[in-house]
Structure 1
Amino acid sequence: MNDLDLVPFTEESGGDGNPGPGTPGKHRRKKGDRSSGRTLVALLVVVAVLGGLAFGGWYGVTKVKDFFTADDYDGPGSGSVVVQIDDNQTVTDIANTLFKDDVVASAKAFVNAAADNPDSTRGLQPGSYKLKKQMKASDALDMLLDRANRVDGPSVIIPEGLTVKEILPRLAEKSGIPLAEFQKAAKDPAALGVPEWGGPSPDRRVLEGFLYPSKYELNDQTTAEGLLKQMVALSVQAATKDDLSAKAQELGVSEWDLMIIASLIEQEGIEADFGKISRVIYNRLNSTGALSYLQFDSTTQYWLIQTGKGRKAIVTDAELKNPDNNYSTDVDRHQGLPPTPIGNPGDASLKAAANPTPGPWTYFVVVTKDRHSAFTDDYNVHQDNILKCKRVGFC
Structure 2
Amino acid sequence: MNHRLEDFFSDGDDPDRDSTPKHGDDSSEGTMNAQNDEHVDESDAFENSLFIAEPPRPPKSRKDMRRKRSRVKQRRLISVILAISIVIIIAAAAIFVTIKVRSLAPQIENSREYAADYPGPGRVVVDFTVDEGESADSVAAGLVKAGIIKSKAAFTQAISATGEQSAIYPGTFTLKLRMKASDVVTILTDQSKAGGFLEVKAGDKASDIFKKAANMSGLSLKNFTALITDKGAGILPAEADGSFEGWLQPGSYNVKNAGSAKEIVTNLVQKRIEHLDELGVPTGSKREDILKIASIAEAEVNQEQYYGKVARVIDNRLAQGTPLGMDSTIAYGEGVSASELTTKMLEDSSNAYNSRIHKGLPPTPISIPGDSAIKAALSPDAGNWIYFVTVNLDTGETKFTNDADQFQEYVKEYKAWEAKNG
- CA–CA distance in structure 2, aligned partners of residues 391 and 238 of structure 1: 42
Conserved? CA contact 1:212–1:345, under 8 Å:
no
Residue equivalent to 2:235 = 193
Conserved? CA contact 2:328–2:338, under 8 Å:
no
Opposite residue 369 of structure 2, the aligned amino acid is: P
Q: Deviations over 1:347-379 (max 9, x none)?
A: 121111101011111100101222221011111
How far does residue 229 in structure 1 lie from its aligned partner after superposition?
1.1
Aligned 1:70-109 pairs, distance under 5 A: none
**Does 2:314 match 1:272?**
no
Overall identity of the aligned pairs, in %: 28
**Does 2:414 match 1:389?**
yes
Q: Deviations over 1:289-347 (max 9, x none)?
A: xxx11000111111111xxxx325142221111132121111xx210111111122121
Residue equivalent to 2:203 = 161
Conserved? CA contact 1:273–1:372, under 8 Å:
no
Relative distance call for 1:207 and 1:152 in structure 2 (3 A) is closer
Secondary structure of the residue that 2:363 maps to in structure 1?
coil
Conserved? CA contact 2:170–2:252, under 8 Å:
no
Structure 1 stretches lacking a partner, 5+ long: 1-77, 80-125, 134-147, 200-204
TM-score by length of 1: 0.55
Residue equivalent to 1:282 = 315
**Does 2:331 match 1:296?**
no
Residue equivalent to 1:17 = none
Match 2:134 to one of 107, 117, 129 = 129
Match 1:360 to one of 384, 387, 398 = 384
How far does residue 217 in structure 1 lie from its aligned partner after superposition?
2.1
- CA–CA distance in structure 2, aligned partners of residues 149 and 357 of structure 1: 37
How far does residue 170 in structure 1 lie from its aligned partner after superposition?
1.8
The structure with the greater share of residues assigned to helix is: 2
**Does 2:219 match 1:177?**
yes
Secondary structure of the residue that 1:392 maps to in structure 2?
helix
Greater RCO structure (CA 8 Å; 6+ sep): 1
Secondary structure of the residue that 2:418 maps to in structure 1?
coil
Conserved? CA contact 1:239–1:259, under 8 Å:
no
- CA–CA distance in structure 1, aligned partners of residues 417 and 358 of structure 2: 29
Relative distance call for 1:187 and 1:128 in structure 2 (3 A) is farther
- CA–CA distance in structure 2, aligned partners of residues 181 and 374 of structure 1: 44
Residue equivalent to 2:397 = 372
- CA–CA distance in structure 2, aligned partners of residues 190 and 177 of structure 1: 18
Conserved? CA contact 1:130–1:150, under 8 Å:
no
Relative distance call for 1:342 and 1:185 in structure 2 (3 A) is same
Q: Deviations over 1:156-207 (max 9, x none)?
A: 22222222222221221222211111111233455453212222xxxxx321
Relative distance call for 1:166 and 1:296 in structure 2 (3 A) is same
How far does residue 222 in structure 1 lie from its aligned partner after superposition?
4.8
How far does residue 129 in structure 1 lie from its aligned partner after superposition?
2.9
Secondary structure of the residue that 1:313 maps to in structure 2?
helix
Aligned residues: 239
Residue equivalent to 2:250 = 213
Match 1:341 to one of 346, 365, 368 = 365
Residue equivalent to 1:320 = 346
Aligned 1:253-272 pairs, distance under 5 A: 254-270=286-302, 271-272=304-305
Q: Deviations over 1:187-237 (max 9, x none)?
A: 3455453212222xxxxx321111223222233235311111121112222
Opposite residue 129 of structure 1, the aligned amino acid is: E
Secondary structure of the residue that 2:238 maps to in structure 1?
coil
Q: Deviations over 1:90-137 (max 9, x none)?
A: xxxxxxxxxxxxxxxxxxxxxxxxxxxxxxxxxxxx85733889xxxx
Relative distance call for 1:372 and 1:128 in structure 2 (3 A) is closer
TM-score by length of 2: 0.52
How far does residue 149 in structure 1 lie from its aligned partner after superposition?
8.7
Q: Deviations over 1:21-53 (max 9, x none)?
A: xxxxxxxxxxxxxxxxxxxxxxxxxxxxxxxxx
**Does 2:239 match 1:239?**
no
Residue equivalent to 1:225 = 262
Residue equivalent to 2:41 = none
Opposite residue 301 of structure 1, the aligned amino acid is: A
Residue equivalent to 1:61 = none
Conserved? CA contact 1:364–1:375, under 8 Å:
yes
Conserved? CA contact 1:269–1:371, under 8 Å:
yes
Secondary structure of the residue that 2:216 maps to in structure 1?
helix
